[in-house]
Structure 1
Amino acid sequence: MHARMLDVVAPTAFVLMWSSAFIAGIIGVGAAPPLLVLLVRFTLAAIALTLYALAVRARWPRGAELGHVIVAGLLMQLVQFAAFYTAMAEHVSAAVISLVQGLNPVVIAVFAGRVLGETVTPRQWLGFGVGGVGVGLAVADQSRLSVSGLVLCVVGLLGLSVATVYQKRFTPAVDSRAATALHVAVSAPVVGLLAVAHNDIRVYDTGKLAESLVWMVLVNSMGAFLLLNALLRRWDTTRVGKLFFATPAVTAVLAWLIIDQPLRPLTVAGLAVGVLGMVLAAQRARARTPVREPVPA
């Protein structure tokens, strides 16, 4: 009975935690410039994750492996979140950003064809097209969406996707606990320099900024990460991956309830079509050469 309840509660909690990150991000960039929000988030998360990695005696990468972890971290954390948070500051809705991020498997499959020796099936190509239509429908319903905001979403998606393929190719055996701590640790000083260069060091609402950062660090960076690893130990990767299909819809509902972002019929239709595309595109490709599965990070 306990195990059965865990199989229901744990995935539900994970989807809510993951989806809430977009809401916390929008609240944060409403209280301070996006680069400053990221600087504080990365710094606090680096401290917390490093202490955790040390406590569990995680294996730290060295030499060339360390260099690859740094590159993956800058792509995964700095490029992805700097782009997404700046898009949030330009009034791109949480639902659209979540849907774009959810197309990560689509882009990964395209890159994996060349880098990892995998073929893209006709069903996956269909999923790519359907997913693109879904994003288009959701975007068409955003009256305040700018071209630059949409471009930033694409940049964020590419950062996440390239980082995922890079990790799978160059750091498949790295301990995910140490890698995640290093990812945010190396990204913090770079985003700090960018914030200073852009003079993005003002705070508009200290209270809201503090609340959003506490949630981002404890719930998103720590809680969701630990729960994800627990689920991966209990379930296979494919079953865990399917949880991400629910995040765009859950994010849209949370954004409507918590920050009053409108949930219009066209947005709902775009989310539904986009999730259908994600499901189709998630069909695992056939590998021409054996490839080691990545350690989640």
Structure 2
Amino acid sequence: MKDRIATVAMQPLFVLLWSSAFIAGIVGVGAAPPLMVLFARFTVAGLLLALYVRAVGARWPHGVELRHVVVAGLLMQIVQFGAFYTAMSHQVSGAVIALVQGLNPVVIALFAGFIGETVTMRQWFGFAIGGIGVGLAVLDQSTMSMVGLLLCVVGLLGLSIGTVYQKRFVPQVDPRAATAVHVTASAPIAGLLAWAGGQLQVWDTVRFAEALIWMVLMNSIVAFLLLNHMLRRWDATRVGRLFFATPVVTAILAWLLIDQPLRPLTVAGLAVGVIGMVLASRRPAVTVERRQVVAADVR
């Protein structure tokens, strides 16, 4: 019973924390250059996560496994957030970035065959409906530049390919250690990029510190621990569809925290998006029966 409650609570908590990263990111890049924000975030989070992994005695990946975790981490951290934060500095709103990131399940589904998963026609239909929903949710909230849009696409590919890569090559790695490796490996890369781009300054120390505390504790640590834990327990398609909800939640947080209007089109997008998520989450009964038969044969 406790495990079921934890499973139910885990998903909305992850969506809320993941969505809050867009608000914190906007505050952060308003106080310092995007690569400086990343460098500080990864450095502090990497130290805290390494101490946590040591304290709980989690097993660190080694050898080939470690290399795979590093690759996944660089894709999910440096590529994703480097592109998204830079897009924010180009005046792309958090809602628009969340919209593009919300297409993550579709990209994951395109690579599903590489990780031994199948996507049914019903799920594809659900993805399409969900995509329409998240599009409606933020359609009239912001304008896009081509550079900003391109950066959003790069960030989306970093997250999606990194997710599939980890699920394909290191599905059983301890999620706590994997998250620590992701962030720790990304910190020096972010630092070198910030130094090379002349982005090591801070303009507003107070706002920078506030954004950094939230991003480190809630986004880099708690949210990614949840993400890696869910990837270990569930298939990548199930985890990926949670991202359909992030644009709507981001729009609501923006309305509550920075007074961005919550328009009727956003509410309509929420309703359509939920329908798409329900359709995408349902699998044919024959699939379940077949798995039960296979499991019985193995026993």
Flag whether TM exceeds 0.5 (same fold): yes
TM score, norm. by length of structure 1: 0.82
Query: Partners of 1:173 and 1:55 in 2: how far apart?
Result: 20
Q: Which moved more, 1:1-10 or 1:251-260?
A: 1-10
Residue of structure 2 equivalent to 1:186: 185
Query: Partners of 2:5 and 2:156 in 1: how far apart?
Result: 34
Residue of structure 1 equivalent to 2:56: 56
Shift of 1:65: 0.9
SS in 1 for 2:111: helix
- Percent of aligned pairs with the same residue? 68
> Aligned letter for 1:20?
S
SS in 2 for 1:203: coil
Shift of 1:151: 1.9
Residue of structure 1 equivalent to 2:170: 171
Shift of 1:246: 4.0
Residue of structure 2 equivalent to 1:88: 88
Residue of structure 2 equivalent to 1:104: 104
1:221 lines up with 2:220 in the alignment:
yes
> Aligned letter for 1:16?
L
CA displacement, residues 186-215 of structure 1 (integer Å, 9 cap, x when unaligned): 111111222222222222211101000011
RMSD: 3.2
Query: Partners of 1:243 and 1:254 in 2: how far apart?
Result: 17
SS in 2 for 1:31: coil
Query: Partners of 2:282 and 2:8 in 1: how far apart?
Result: 24
Shift of 1:119: 3.2
Distance 1:230 1:125, change over 3 A: closer
Residue of structure 2 equivalent to 1:212: 211
Distance 1:119 1:213, change over 3 A: same
Q: Where in structure 2 are the equivalents of 1:31-42 lying within 5 Å?
A: 31-42=31-42
Query: Partners of 1:116 and 1:10 in 2: how far apart?
Result: 24
Shift of 1:221: 2.3
Equivalent pairs counted in the alignment come to 284
CA displacement, residues 88-128 of structure 1 (integer Å, 9 cap, x when unaligned): 22222222322332332221111112x12433321222233
Residue of structure 2 equivalent to 1:247: 246
Query: Partners of 2:148 and 2:228 in 1: how far apart?
Result: 32
Quick check: 1:78–1:187 contact (8 Å CA) kept in 2? Answer: yes
CA displacement, residues 21-49 of structure 1 (integer Å, 9 cap, x when unaligned): 22111111111111110110000000010
Query: Partners of 2:3 and 2:63 in 1: how far apart?
Result: 41
Query: Partners of 1:109 and 1:11 in 2: how far apart?
Result: 19
Shift of 1:133: 3.0
Query: Partners of 1:112 and 1:100 in 2: how far apart?
Result: 19
Quick check: 1:99–1:271 contact (8 Å CA) kept in 2? Answer: no
CA displacement, residues 163-199 of structure 1 (integer Å, 9 cap, x when unaligned): 1111111111211111111101111111122222222
Residue of structure 1 equivalent to 2:146: 147
Please, which runs of 5 or more residues in structure 2 have no aligned partner?
Answer: 292-299
Quick check: 2:129–2:275 contact (8 Å CA) kept in 1? Answer: yes
Query: Partners of 1:199 and 1:34 in 2: how far apart?
Result: 11
Quick check: 2:59–2:177 contact (8 Å CA) kept in 1? Answer: yes
Residue of structure 1 equivalent to 2:257: 258
Q: Where in structure 2 are the equivalents of 1:15-54 lying within 5 Å?
A: 15-54=15-54
> Aligned letter for 1:56?
V
Query: Partners of 2:64 and 2:142 in 1: how far apart?
Result: 47
Distance 1:206 1:161, change over 3 A: same
Shift of 1:53: 0.4
Quick check: 2:179–2:224 contact (8 Å CA) kept in 1? Answer: no
Shift of 1:59: 0.7
Shift of 1:275: 4.5
> Aligned letter for 2:208?
L
Distance 1:142 1:10, change over 3 A: closer
> Aligned letter for 1:26?
I
Distance 1:17 1:61, change over 3 A: same
Query: Partners of 1:161 and 1:168 in 2: how far apart?
Result: 11
Query: Partners of 2:191 and 2:4 in 1: how far apart?
Result: 45
